[in-house]
Amino acid sequence: MKVYIAAPYAEAVCVRTTVFSMIRDAGLDPIASWAVEADGEKENLLAIDEERARARWKRNRWELVAADALLVVARDGSGGEMFAETELARAMTLPIFWTGRLTLSAFQPEVRVRAPGHNDGIAIAIRHIADYARRSAANVVPIEPKL
């Protein structure tokens, strides 16, 4: 199961190390190219040209569309793009697992788990995503090809 991680840009180092590792340890596949490429500082979109900014936006959207679940890592005072990604996931009816700072977005019906806190909250949410993945896999009925 592919899990897209929506988090503030400044959390990139934590996402690509700690969160990726926790997701992989649960037998899941993390997706967040933005975190792999980010330097962990505040994102400065004025320093890049429009074409490059649009390419980043497009890549993030395609990764989210390819995901099976969304893990939100919310922090005080940051993460504007994360809310746009959460809204897209909601529109796609992707299951959302929310960690960290609670906002009104954390209470939409698609949010399966709200786990405040940093590492503890992330660990709780990932356990729930892994349970969701197991339940989803158990409900898959193979289709036999007709010859």
Quick one: tokens of 142?
């193979």
CATH number of the CATH domain containing 106: 3.40.50.450
For residue 113, CA distances in Å to 16, 56, 102 come to 22, 28, 11
- pLDDT confidence tier of residue 79, bands split at 50, 70 and 90: low
Residue 147 falls within a domain, yes or no?
Answer: no
Tokens matching residue 22: 């926790």
The domain of 16 spans: 2-138
Tally of domains within the chain: 1
Does 104 fall in a domain?
A: yes
- The residues near 60 (Cβ < 8 Å, ≥ 6 apart) are 33, 34, 81, 85
Query: Is position 77 within any domain?
Result: yes
Lowest mean pLDDT among 17-26, 32-41, 109-118: 32-41
The model's pLDDT over 8-17, given as tens digits with 9 standing for 90+, comes to 888 889 999 9
pLDDT interval class at 37 (50, 70, 90): confident
Q: Is 50 inside any structural domain?
A: yes
Output the pLDDT for position 10: 85
pLDDT at position 26 over 70: yes
- Residue 31: the pLDDT is 96
In a domain, 108, yes or no: yes
Average pLDDT, the chain: 87
